[in-house]
Amino acid sequence: MAFLIDESQKKTTKKDWLDLAQFLKEHHLVCQLNAGTSLGAIKVNNVLPWETVDADILLHPDNITAFEKLESTITQNGYRYNTVKFGYYHIHTAHWTVEVFADSLQTPASAGVTPTRIEFDGQLLETVINPGLFGRNMYGSEMYQHAQHWRGMKADRSNIWEYFHNAQKKFSQCPEPGHHACLDQFEADGNLEFAKPSA
């Protein structure tokens, strides 16, 4: 995708993620912002402006069985539930997919450690331990530079993280040059607030 998402889509994305996170919390499951959703919180305290694919939740591995038992409840609440494999799930809303991962590497609650929280759309939400270091390890030392989603850049699906660590820090050519939402009119390097550059 070579376009910014519009504000209505961004609002829907945030609502989908926050509603599901609140649902899991109400059922006493430990979950955190993960992957690109955590990166958006690190970089812009919000959804990444070009994120059109999915949101990411990290589930405590001790909660896998409890989560799977909620399948019927999840579907009754209007979501579509799909088990990709044990410990990895897709929860589909009308507009969005939330990827749910269970990962033993980020388990602060099990160690009695106070959860790390990060600002996301004006709320403090639980995220991975040391989110800045997490982002650098996952996306490379230049994570504050902007890189499009690997799907939009047709990256090798078998080596996604290699793409992020070595991604060319510019946006792909817009299919509708001059369109107000074209990503390629923005600077990919050093533009932390992702403001439109002056002409």
What average pLDDT score do residues 18-40 get?
A: 84
Q: At residue 15, does pLDDT exceed 90?
A: no
What average pLDDT score do residues 51-55 get?
A: 75
Total tally of structural domains belonging to the chain: 1
* Phi, psi of 183, rounded to the nearest 5 degrees: -70, -30
HEC string of 74-128? Answer: HHHCCCEEEEEECCEEEEECCCCEEEEEECCCCCHHHHCCCCEEEEECCEEEEEC
Range of the domain at 52: 7-185
Is 199 a member of any domain?
A: no
Top-ranked range on mean pLDDT: pick from 69-78, 113-122, 142-151, 174-183? 69-78
Is 68 a member of any domain?
A: yes
CATH of the domain at 93: 3.30.460
Mean pLDDT value across the chain: 78
Q: What is the pTM of this model?
A: 0.77
- What pLDDT sits at residue 161? 64
